[in-house]
Amino acid sequence: MKTLDLKQVLNGQSAGQTRKTYSAGETIAQQGEAAAALFYIERGQVAVSVVLHAGKEAIVGVRGPGDFFGLRALLGGGPRRASGIALTDCIIIHIEKSLATRLLQERLEFAGMFNDYLLRQHLRDLKRIISQSYPAKERLRQTLIEISNLSASGPAQPIKITQTMLANLVGTTRSRVSLFMNNFRRRGLVEYDRAGMLIVRKTLDKALQSRE
Amino acid sequence: MKTLDLKQVLNGQSAGQTRKTYSAGETIAQQGEAAAALFYIERGQVAVSVVLHAGKEAIVGVRGPGDFFGLRALLGGGPRRASGIALTDCIIIHIEKSLATRLLQERLEFAGMFNDYLLRQHLRDLKRIISQSYPAKERLRQTLIEISNLSASGPAQPIKITQTMLANLVGTTRSRVSLFMNNFRRRGLVEYDRAGMLIVRKTLDKALQSRE
DNA sequence: TTTCGCATGTGCAATATTGCACACCGCCGG
DNA sequence: CCGGCGGTGTGCAATATTGCACATGCGAAA
């Protein structure tokens, strides 16, 4: 199933879209500010995070090439409920709210593509929700696999992410993540390259449970 | 913001849609079978559940009036990954796969409405994902509130749901749910009516944590 | 009425998780 | 070269959770 590429739709639209680059660590969208644009990731990875209470932070997901984020721009006028932070260097297309809503309401091919995207995102969300039935170690395993396969094409990508972020992503503590990662590493399921990037091996896919 | 009602779009479409009724406990869609239709809830509540391993079951969410489920029908030809089970007596509109995809591809007003639905559903999913950062008791609190507000209009609805289902919904054990529910009850945050239906009081909304 | 078959209320030991604390490292700026 | 600083590896006591087991209550079927 080939989905329509965003660029085909955006071509011919001059106003309302901007292509920007961000370097790793930069904040692309900030929780609390007005949702003026919808974002599309052309390259790189973005963490979507929410600050809860007393500095506690939950990372709601990681998005990669081909993903949208900042969907709040399409829903009423409320402020953003989450932040988008570049995990790696990124190329992001900003689509202004007015353009995005217009495309959605007037262009059937855009609406169709976006529906398809939202359907797939919903399935990813469900996977994430299901994972809450598993213990932390299994959640970490699933999360690592998901992140390393974000760029659907080609083999698993090296990941740059701190243990603290992973902890906020799987809903556990950093000490736990450290423990689990070492376990995975001893079993040859993951490894770090010289740049400190995390490499997830295919063997992690079916790694069965084992006591830590 | 008033969203387009499904019926306006379905009017004039004769073939491919059926209105059916189910009584509480009936299975509307079964995990594993072909996804031949998209479902729309006109009345009632439906639990979406997934069987994991060795009989373990996760309830992925509860849908109410105005919600769709069985979205797999819109994505390729794969089998259903989840089951839909009527929690209460329901009126469900079956929209055959062929009709659903056609509406999505050809009718801008349907595509627009569906996009809006998926956006809102995505936000609900995210709330659910965020909740995994909280302890079980807080997750139960949020879940009860969400379910009781499914029928957006009017006050909170009485709920009919077993503790076992609640446990699968919040990702904990039944003993725990029993404990928490009694705690909520003693504090006057919930109660049961004579029919055994659960009533969630508004006071639960801001009930602060307390040791069990 | 009696008897199952759910669903709920409770208790408890075995485990898992949390929340710190502290040591080590590599890197960067002064 | 020397601090910081952020990120990681570990250990540990206080808590929370799991997985049972068993009693009770209640309604439907016999």
- What CATH class is the domain A6-129? mainly beta
- Please give the pLDDT value at position A210: 62
pLDDT beyond 70 at B190: yes
Q: What is the mean pLDDT of residues B32-47?
A: 94
Asked if residue B209 keeps its beta carbon closer than 7 A to nucleic acid strand C, the reply is: no
B173/A contact by beta carbon, under 8 A? no
pLDDT beyond 70 at B82: yes
Q: Which of A143, A110, A111 is nearest to A124 (CA)?
A: A143
Q: What is the mean pLDDT of residues B44-68?
A: 91
Query: What is the distance between the terminal CA atoms of chain A, rounded to a whole angstrom?
Result: 41
Residue labelled with tokens 């503790």:
B163
* Local structure of residue A152 (DSSP, 8 states): -
At B22, give phi and psi (nearest 5°): -135, 150
pLDDT beyond 60 at B1: no
Task: Provide the token pair at B82.
Answer: 């989840």
Task: Write out residues whose CB is closer than 7 A to strand D.
Answer: A 162-164, 174-175, 178-179, 181-182; B 135-137, 171-173, 175-176, 211-212
- Please give the model's pTM, rounded to 2 decimal places: 0.91
- Nearest residue by alpha-carbon distance to C1' of C16: A135
Inter-chain residue contact A112 with B104, CB threshold 8 Å: yes
DSSP alpha helix (H) spans, B56-198? 97-106, 108-131, 136-148, 163-170, 174-186
B127-A77-B39-B54 Cα dihedral, nearest 10 degrees: -10
- Please give the pLDDT value at position A206: 77
- Taking the C-alpha atoms of residue A112 and residue A103, their distance in angstroms, rounded to an integer, is 11
Query: What is the distance between the terminal CA atoms of chain B, rounded to a whole angstrom?
Result: 41
Which of A108, A115, A130 comes nearest B118 by C-beta? A115
Closest nt to residue B179, judged CA to C1': C9
Q: Is B210 exposed, middle or buried (0-12, 13-18, 19+ CB in 10 A)?
A: exposed
One-letter amino acid at B211 equals R
Which of A58, A104, A120 comes nearest B115 by C-beta? A104
Q: How far is the CA of A211 from the C1' of D21 (A)?
A: 26
Which of A61, A82, A132 comes nearest B171 by C-beta? A132
- Please give the pLDDT value at position A142: 93
- Please give the pLDDT value at position A2: 46
* Local structure of residue B119 (DSSP, 8 states): H
Contacts of A106 (CB under 8 A, 6+ apart): B108
- Please give the pLDDT value at position A11: 66
Nearest-CA distance B25 → chain A (Å): 22
Decide which of A6 and A165 is more confident. Answer: A165
pLDDT beyond 80 at A115: yes
* Local structure of residue B5 (DSSP, 8 states): P
Closest nt to residue A173, judged CA to C1': C18
Asked if residue B167 keeps its beta carbon closer than 7 A to nucleic acid strand C, the reply is: no
A126/B contact by beta carbon, under 8 A? yes
Inter-chain residue contact B129 with A130, CB threshold 8 Å: no
- Taking the C-alpha atoms of residue B51 and residue B70, their distance in angstroms, rounded to an integer, is 16
Closest nt to residue B164, judged CA to C1': C7
Q: What is the mean pLDDT of residues A164-177?
A: 95
B89-B93-B98-B102 Cα dihedral, nearest 10 degrees: -140
pLDDT beyond 80 at B110: yes
- Bridge pairing between strands A90-96 and A57-63: unpaired
* Banded model confidence at residue A33, pLDDT cuts 50, 70, 90: very high
Domains of chain A by residue range: 6-129, 135-207
Task: Kindly report the CATH number that applies to the domain delimited by A135-207.
Answer: 1.10.10.10
- Work out the mean pLDDT of chain B and round it to a whole number: 88
Q: What is the mean pLDDT of residues A36-58?
A: 91
Asked if residue A135 keeps its beta carbon closer than 7 A to nucleic acid strand C, the reply is: yes
What beta strand segments (E) does A25-122 contain? 27-29, 37-43, 46-51, 57-63, 68-69, 83-86, 90-96
Nearest-CA distance B38 → chain A (Å): 13
Nearest CA in chain B to A122: B122
> How many Cβ atoms are within 10 Å of B97's Cβ, its own excluded?
19
Q: How far is CA B146 from CA A91, A155, B104, in A?
A: 37, 40, 29
Percent of chain B beyond pLDDT 90? 65
